[in-house]
Amino acid sequence: MKQKKLENYLKRNEYPFNYEFQLLNENKTLLENILKGNITKPLHIEVLSGEVCNLNCVWCRGGHRNYMSSEKMLPESIILNLIDQFADYNIEGIIRFAGMSGEPLINKGVIKGIKYGIDKGLKMGLITNGICLTPDIYDSIIGSTYVSVSLDAGTNKTFNKLKNNLKPKNDLTFDKIIDNIHFFSSYKRKYNNKLRFTTGYILQSDNFHEILTATKLVKEAGSDIIQFKIPYLPKGTVFSEEQIKELNKILEEASSYSDSNFRAMPMQTKEEINSELRGNKPKANFSKCYAHNINAVIGADGNFYPCVHYYYNKGKISGQPLGNIYNQSFKDIWEGETRKRIIENINPVNYCDFCNRYDTRINKFFNFLSKDKII
């Protein structure tokens, strides 16, 4: 029974979404040390570099959270100092500038930070809405491990409705992003074909009917992967049974676009997607959080958080931070007593109303390994 369950974990999804397989086969020593309670270094560092955005996505601002009252942004000097610290601490995982709180490329220090990190031999990642993914920055980011563009629509009309509703209805930002995907993919093929270039597609009742259109567009534009996922919303994303049936059919058809150079794939299993679309939010039904050992989150306020949902608590920057990078080093916070004390007091079942899907999978896997003493 245990072996069968382990096999099921290791068969989940294809690369790069086969998280459990990667942990056990590529980071087994790290996994063993975490289970023993030893201090380890993170595999992913999420740097939320700013709270300013040039879009207004319905599942983000006004959906997942409200506009930040202060619109904070990390100064370039702090970003570059962080890169120095990551290099000195011998971080082997990925440092990612993400658009979870705002568009990272609005902060000019991000481009310099990515280039600086690449030059220091660090693995760098970027998630952007694609508006600022223009040729003038390609040389600085081409050495990254991956770049991902959040597209989430197949036409200008739907894009403007879901993501760009502060602009005129005939705005052509969507077309501009498709052009940017094409330009960057051409540059990638010439200078660093190992870089993973992906396109994200958040599933909504207003856009799922454009999945095939978007898949065809981004494949022709040169993206390596289009990935489909459900947004993180407090009330969930609910589809009717008829919509779920139609979505499953469309996702299956989208997969037919996959070949040796391109993949169309959901980040979750069919069962997980259907369950969430019926209103069943992922819950932290495990006794201990292990994911904080793998992921580090630095907010635009300089605070160090256990996870991104700590940062977003109830749509505001709240939750008890583990420290602040303006007056403490990354290493001191990560290995410090404050972080240890706060983490020990977090009981996911009682404390965490929501756990993101990556962290949920990591936590379930670790709790399984710990409980059944697999390792």
293 band by pLDDT with thresholds 50, 70 and 90 = very high
Q: What is the DSSP string of 310-327?
A: HHTGGGSS-S--SEETTT
Give yes or no for residue 60 having a pLDDT over 80.
no
Is the pLDDT higher at 9 or at 222? 222
Distance of CA 91 to the CA centre of its chain: 19
Mean pLDDT calculated for residue range 199-215: 96
Residues 272-292 pLDDT 10s? 899 889 888 767 888 899 999
Mean pLDDT calculated for residue range 211-235: 90
**Mean pLDDT, the chain, whole residue set:** 89
Mean pLDDT calculated for residue range 323-330: 96
Sign of CA dihedral 211, 213, 214, 218: positive
Mean pLDDT calculated for residue range 236-243: 84
Is the pLDDT higher at 346 or at 259? 259
Q: Which of 356, 357, 304, 312 is nearest to 47 (CA)?
A: 304
Query: What is the structure's pLDDT at 89?
Result: 98
Give φ, ψ of 116 to 5 degrees.
Answer: -65, -40
61 band by pLDDT with thresholds 50, 70 and 90 = low
* Region class of 109: left (phi > 0), else alpha (psi between -120 and 50), else beta: alpha
Of 121-125, 126-130, 350-354, the poorest mean pLDDT is in: 350-354
Q: E-assigned strands of 203-343?
A: 225-229, 263-266, 295-298, 303-305, 323-324
Of 32-46, 74-88, 97-111, 317-331, the poorest mean pLDDT is in: 317-331
Query: What is the structure's pLDDT at 349?
Result: 82
Give yes or no for residue 110 having a pLDDT over 90.
yes
Mean pLDDT calculated for residue range 180-194: 96
Mean pLDDT calculated for residue range 286-301: 92
Residue 332: both structure tokens together: 């001191």
DSSP H or E stretch at residue 198: strand 196-202
Q: Tell me how far CA of residue 23 lies from CA of 9, 20, 297, 365, in angstroms.
A: 11, 5, 19, 10
Mean pLDDT calculated for residue range 171-176: 95
Q: What is the DSSP string of 13-45?
A: S-TTS-HHHHHHHHSHHHHHHHHTT-----SEE
Identify whether the C-beta of residue 355 lies closer than 8 Å to the C-beta of residue 295: no
Q: Give exposure, 51-66, as e/b (b: 16+ Cβ within 10 Å).
A: bbbebbbbbbbebbbe
Mean pLDDT calculated for residue range 110-125: 98
Identify whether the C-beta of residue 244 lies closer than 8 Å to the C-beta of residue 277: yes
Q: Give exposure, 223-255, as e/b (b: 16+ Cβ within 10 Å).
A: bbbbbbbbbbbeebbebeeeebeebeebbeebe
Query: What is the structure's pLDDT at 372?
Result: 66
Identify whether the C-beta of residue 375 lies closer than 8 Å to the C-beta of residue 16: no
Query: What is the structure's pLDDT at 317?
Result: 37
Query: What is the structure's pLDDT at 219?
Result: 98
Mean pLDDT calculated for residue range 314-333: 77
316 band by pLDDT with thresholds 50, 70 and 90 = very low
Amino acid at 324: N
Query: What is the structure's pLDDT at 223?
Result: 98
Give yes or no for residue 338 having a pLDDT over 70.
yes
State the residue for tokens 């990642």.
125
Query: What is the structure's pLDDT at 132?
Result: 97
Mean pLDDT calculated for residue range 252-270: 94
Of 194-203, 227-236, 287-296, the poorest mean pLDDT is in: 227-236
Of 41-55, 67-81, 172-186, 319-333, the poorest mean pLDDT is in: 67-81
